[in-house]
Structure 1
Amino acid sequence: MPEPRRLLVLRHVPWEGPGLVTTGLQDVPTEDRLVVDEADPELPPAADLAGLVVMGGPMGADDLLEHPGLVAERRILADAVDAEVPVIGICLGMQLLACALGASLHPGHGTEIGLGPVDLLAPDPVLDPLGPRPEVLHWHSDAVDLPAGAALLASSPLTPVQAFRAGSALGLQFHLEVDRSLLGAWLAEPFMQADLAAHGISGMAEAGERVLPSLTPAAIRGLGTFAEAVRARA
């Protein structure tokens, strides 16, 4: 009997894990890797995966010399889309996905940090439960163009491409994976504290307490459709 396919999670810093994305996937074998600084990481063939999740991080999607593992991450993202593997890329992961599909990155396009709304522009099973203009968690300054052939799903005035769908892959510039517990872990990290201080941002915990109790159940429902697709391939 063949071994079940795995869910591969690629993170770029230890504290930015998959959070709500893996709710309901405890029965699927999961490989959680941090390969961003490896020159030639050994990643499995994309077609052998049950699913692929690529998380956020403080580096840029074009920082390929400083973080050579990003080259392999781009490659496996492109291969996963070709193989119709369920994919979610979040923040940096979304930017890597867009670049892997030929779109351009715009470093320093505009800083969005904190809880703020996005406009949902087209139906998608992951985003539909959120409602037409959900308030979500942002933490980025780079932006990407929409990949050719992809469907634009969400936008904000500062960041035109907040979410897109390219076949089996979903890119999210915002952090749908974060609940109150994960946000608390982020806010306890010295790096994240320094980033907030550098941008003069306060009150993140209070905003999370206001928004996340209602957002989290909707996020779990939407992300459950990704979990179903992963389980179908496992």
Structure 2
Amino acid sequence: MSNVFSDTIYAIQHLAFEDLGSFEDVCYQLGYRVRYFEAGVDDLRKALEHEGLTIILGGPIGVYETENYPFLQQEIDLLKVRLEKNLPTLGICLGAQLIAHALGAKVYAGHSKEIGWSTLSIHPTENNLLAPLAHQPVLHWHGDTFDLPPQATLLASSELYPNQAFAVGSQILALQFHLEVLSNSLEKWLIGHTAELTQAKINIPALRQENIAHAPQLEVIASRIFSQWLQALNPNT
């Protein structure tokens, strides 16, 4: 492992069962250690000042709920500094919204919940990392959305929301959808998010069947995409 790029990857969790999923095995296969930080419990300074890769995971709260969740303000402030330094950062769902907000874009409640499996429209940008997802359904699970930061390159859209993924250079990647989801872990999501699913009138048995149909293949593609991105960050892996 190169001395330039840290051999530890930090992951910030906002919810216990939303973890690195299929990405975690890729980290270990490429020789990295993984350390989790719990937002709202742990001091996030070490994770967000880390010069290696930091991954900011999803959660059911909104970027704008700083009054109810004061820790969010510190997370946002530290993230702004991190992004200004162009340190390697991946955001998933809430993590993507936090990156968008830290880059000056508006984050707000969407017109409808997007929960379930559907394909993306992959934008024809040069060397689009997400090209392998062209015909692969992915898991969407969000109610908020964001405007595209001015310095960002749009990578993917969905039928409901135009801004599903963006990159800033080669170091910063934001994914609104859940590329990392593991097929054998979704039941935890169905239990943990039961109130949201019921309120949104989501058909839980149908969502479970979609997971059985689509998640195993997504795991294969997701591992390839994440591995490619991680190795581009650190060619010495």
- For residues 34-183 of structure 1, the aligned pairs below 5 Å read 34-36=38-40, 41-44=43-46, 46=48, 48-121=50-123, 122-124=125-127, 126-131=129-134, 133-167=135-169, 168-183=171-186
Tell me the secondary structure at the aligned position of residue 19 of structure 2: coil
User: Quick one: distance in 2 between partners of 1:141 and 1:157?
Assistant: 14
Q: Name which of structure 1's ranges 5-14 and 43-52 shifts more when overlaid on structure 2.
A: 43-52
* Contact persistence 2:44–2:75 (CA under 8 A): no
The offset of 1:56, in angstroms, is 0.7
Match of 1:227 among 214, 225, 230: 230
The offset of 1:143, in angstroms, is 0.5
User: Quick one: distance in 2 between partners of 1:211 and 1:44?
Assistant: 36
Greater relative CO, 1 or 2 (CA 8 Å, sep 6+)? 1
What is the one-letter code of the residue matched to 1:29?
R
The offset of 1:76, in angstroms, is 3.2
Change (3 A) 1:84 1:233: farther
User: Quick one: distance in 1 between partners of 2:47 and 2:226?
Assistant: 24
Tell me the secondary structure at the aligned position of residue 11 of structure 2: strand
Number of matched residues?
A: 228
The offset of 1:69, in angstroms, is 1.8
TM-score (norm 2): 0.86
Change (3 A) 1:42 1:185: closer
User: Residue by residue, what CA displacement relative to the aligned partner does 1:40-98 show, whole Å, maximum 9, x if unpaired?
Assistant: x3512756431010011110011112112222222333333333322110111100000
User: Quick one: distance in 1 between partners of 2:41 and 2:70?
Assistant: 6
User: Quick one: distance in 2 between partners of 1:231 and 1:181?
Assistant: 30
* Percentage of identical aligned residues: 32
Gap runs ≥5 in structure 1: none
* Contact persistence 1:23–1:227 (CA under 8 A): no
Change (3 A) 1:197 1:123: farther
Gap runs ≥5 in structure 2: none
* Contact persistence 2:24–2:34 (CA under 8 A): no
The offset of 1:10, in angstroms, is 0.6
The offset of 1:212, in angstroms, is 1.4
User: Quick one: distance in 2 between partners of 1:79 and 1:129?
Assistant: 32
Change (3 A) 1:105 1:42: closer
**Alignment partner, residue 28 of structure 1:** 32
Q: Name which of structure 1's ranges 156-165 and 78-87 shifts more when overlaid on structure 2.
A: 78-87
Tell me the secondary structure at the aligned position of residue 231 of structure 2: helix
**Alignment partner, residue 196 of structure 2:** 195
